[in-house]
Amino acid sequence: MKDTAKHQGLRNQLVSVLQEKGIIDKNVLEAIRKIPRHLFLNSSFEAYAYQDKAFPIGAGQTISQPYTVAFQSQLLEIKKDDKVLEIGTGSGYQTAVLCMMGAKVFSVERQNELFKQTSALLPKLGIRPKHLTFGDGYKGLPGFAPFDSIIVTAGAPFIPQPLMAQLKIGGRLVIPLGEEVQIMTLLIRKNETQFEKHELGEFRFVPLLEDKN
């Protein structure tokens, strides 16, 4: 679990790349500057960990490209102690970014292998989400709702109704929508029944699957 000055230098370069691509949220940039992304990857990818690329992490899943992580995190407009629901814990890198930004993170992962791996890794890095669970992301976590914001880290064909229900009024839901290519979609809950929708460009994600594995 080594994190060296060289790694830090590569992270600083990555932050510069993200700023050039339009990421301006200082909390997001600071989190990416601090978190050792190479420790979330298979060691064979360590040399590439700070390139702006996605990589496989096992169970047919990927660790998202840093720009995508930063873009989604920025859309959430996180304030300290916000309750954030994350659908798709994956490697735990996005979870770590949210925690570092001061959020109380509740995260759901449907792949048992990844859930076990990430549950063991995060505490070793001093990262403590409020709640990690193995389960079906489509259902959210009604027992902990409502949430200040919800982030979905996999492509979804539609917006799961339970997630909309678990968002508090004024809250933000960020979800990549679509089959082959996804449109990053932001929903802002205006009141009990109305949501304001923004579409923010194309991204590519692994699919959000229903049920547990």
Q: Which residues does the annotation mark as catalytic?
A: 64
Q: What one-character-per-residue DSSP string does 112-178 give?
A: HHHHHHHHHHHHHTT---SEEEES-GGG--GGG--EEEEEE-SBBSS--HHHHHTEEEEEEEEEEE-
Type of residue found at 144: F
What is the 8-class DSSP label of residue 80? T
Count of other CB atoms within 10 angstroms of residue 202: 11
Please name the amino acid found at residue 46. E
Report how many helices (DSSP H) and strands (DSSP E) the chain contains, helices first: 6, 9
